[in-house]
Amino acid sequence: MQTPDLVPIIPELILLVTALIVLLVEPFLKSDGTGRIDRTALIAITLTGLVGSVAVSLGLSGEDRESFAGMLVLDSWAVFFNVLFGVGAVLTVLMSPGYLEAHRRHLGEYYALLLFAVIGMNLMAAARDFILLYVAIELMAISSYLLAAFFRYRIRSNEASLKYFLTGSFASAILLYGVSLVYGQAGATNYSATGRAMGEIMQSAATGGKAGVLLAVFLVAIGLAFKVSAAPFHMWTPDVYQGAPTPIAAFFSVGPKAAAFSAMMAAFVAAFPGALKEWGLFFIVLSIVTMLAGNLYALVQTNVKRMLAYSSIAHAGYLLAGVGAMGWSGNTLPGQGVMIYLAAYTFMNLGAFGILAYLKAQMPKGFDYSLKSLAGLGRRSPWTASLLTLFLLSLTGIPGTAGFIGKFYVFSGVVWADLWWLAVVGVLLTAVSAYYYLRVVIYMFFREPEREYTLKEPIGGAMAASLAVSAIATVAIGLVPSWLWDAAASGFGALLK
């Protein structure tokens, strides 16, 4: 038996080793006498591992190496997402300690689980085979279920985890069923082999064969639609985000979602090119429903964390519009827009959630993320309020921010595909979203609180670093997006090779 080439999975191996080191080191950490244990070392190890993994990915970016009999490839597609997930995880790790300390649940497992989830996400982007895709999704998902339940003494956290687990397993089952249908018809699970076989079936006139292919495509699409929380499969999202620890909710909203999008685009482009129009149309319909549901539900939320959860559904809708337009037009232009949007979304959404995590730790007891509790923040903590405003404006899609660039590229792809009506629906719902994002701004700057309050500490330490990176990236992508476009283009180039 031939030894597989291990080079393409070095980034994942680094993460695996780091996670194990974190678990091993934790018991040896000394308490400082008051019962509190300084876990800075764990954070340092985790960050080193993540940064190392990202660096190795970037170093290997020109290699284009296939391994495990074509099951996975480390090409510029995978590197793009490895970097994105790595950066997202770094930002999450940085915003966590303050929040976890405030809840007295600062444990090593947290970082280890996060690393395991990142391994799963990396593999999802690198997978070129449905079996590996399934395994990677499960690795990511099981780590996520545990992270959602990290505050195990809180009912809400348990509810979040259980809901996530049940719906997630359900989705995995549907996906697996789709994969089994794919295997049954194509005789392969490898994307490109599947693509060839499925293409032939679609070419031939037999209606039965076509229906079988479409059913398989449909089931795989639904399985992944669950993961990106597309409506009508979004029910779990708000409850999970609300119940999970805030930094974890932040991570969920960007990491696994981006991973699912990367897997979705890779699998559908490579494995189902025979049914481009069909799955394109399916995602277009899904995108309209998702944009509508996300934006309209977000409109009536009074809890900011929940509003952000619904807004993340809305953003999934815009992204799906890009994916759908890509299938419909058979061109990667909208897909490149989706990649840029995912990058932009990672920073702005992590930033917004990061502010909430900071507020939860620093606001007086009883802070419940409600709009009312944010009243007057602009006067009491101008920096916090200004940063949150920046992130919300970016989520709205105001020019000068990353959010605008993301929307611009996605809708530009959609219009390119001659689906201008879809773009009109999208931008009009963006205008709706302006209302609920700006309402937070209204409370922070235009209203005064019912009771006087002060924040315990100004933003500092790791949290400051996380927010600063998010804010700078949000503005930087907003002003100079060309390099992202090139990276996305070379990613698709590698995928289609």
| Choice between 32 and 452, CB closer to other proteins | 452
What is the smallest separation between the CB atom of 399 and other proteins, expressed in angstroms?
A: 4
What is the smallest separation between the CB atom of 480 and other proteins, expressed in angstroms?
A: 8
Task: Single out the residue of 302, 292, 339, 325 nearest to residue 433, CA to CA.
Answer: 292
Please give the backbone phi and psi of residue 37, each rounded to the nearest 5 degrees, phi first.
-110, 130
| Choice between 194 and 373, CB closer to other proteins | 373
| Choice between 274 and 397, CB closer to other proteins | 397
Q: Which positions touch other proteins (CB under 8 A)?
A: 379, 393, 397-400, 404, 408, 411-412, 415-416, 420, 423-424, 427-428, 430-431, 434-435, 438-439, 441-442, 445-447, 481-482, 485-486, 489
What is the smallest separation between the CB atom of 215 and other proteins, expressed in angstroms?
A: 35
Indicate the DSSP class of residue 70.
T
| Choice between 170 and 485, CB closer to other proteins | 485
| Choice between 235 and 398, CB closer to other proteins | 398
What is the smallest separation between the CB atom of 411 and other proteins, expressed in angstroms?
A: 6
Q: Residue 484 has which token pair?
A: 């992202």
CA angle centred on 447, ends 428 and 435, rounded to 5°: 5
| Choice between 200 and 483, CB closer to other proteins | 483
Residue partners of 246: CB distance under 8 A and separation at least 6: 99, 305, 353, 356, 357, 360
| Choice between 171 and 338, CB closer to other proteins | 338
Task: Single out the residue of 157, 329, 363, 144 nearest to residue 254, CA to CA.
Answer: 144
| Choice between 67 and 412, CB closer to other proteins | 412
Characterise 29 by phi-psi region: left (phi > 0), alpha (psi -120 to 50), beta (else).
beta
| Choice between 34 and 482, CB closer to other proteins | 482
Whether the Cβ atoms of residue 352 and residue 398 lie closer than 8 Å to each other: no
d(CA 73, CA 124): 11
What is the smallest separation between the CB atom of 452 and other proteins, expressed in angstroms?
A: 17
Residue partners of 313: CB distance under 8 A and separation at least 6: 229, 230, 231, 234, 237, 290, 293, 294, 297, 298
Whether the Cβ atoms of residue 283 and residue 260 lie closer than 8 Å to each other: no
CA angle centred on 122, ends 267 and 61, rounded to 5°: 95
Characterise 326 by phi-psi region: left (phi > 0), alpha (psi -120 to 50), beta (else).
alpha
What is the smallest separation between the CB atom of 3 and other proteins, expressed in angstroms?
A: 41
Q: Residue 457 has which token pair?
A: 């500490």
Please give the backbone phi and psi of residue 72, each rounded to the nearest 5 degrees, phi first.
-145, 155
What is the smallest separation between the CB atom of 412 and other proteins, expressed in angstroms?
A: 5
Strand partners for 73 = 66
| Choice between 52 and 400, CB closer to other proteins | 400
What is the smallest separation between the CB atom of 61 and other proteins, expressed in angstroms?
A: 19
Task: Single out the residue of 194, 51, 170 nearest to residue 118, CA to CA.
Answer: 51
What is the smallest separation between the CB atom of 413 and other proteins, expressed in angstroms?
A: 9
| Choice between 42 and 410, CB closer to other proteins | 410
What is the smallest separation between the CB atom of 152 and other proteins, expressed in angstroms?
A: 41
d(CA 14, CA 210): 43
Cα distance between the two ends of the chain: 27
What is the smallest separation between the CB atom of 338 and other proteins, expressed in angstroms?
A: 15
Whether the Cβ atoms of residue 241 and residue 312 lie closer than 8 Å to each other: yes
- The DSSP result for 345-369, as a single string, is HHHHHHHHHHHHHHHHHHSPTT--S
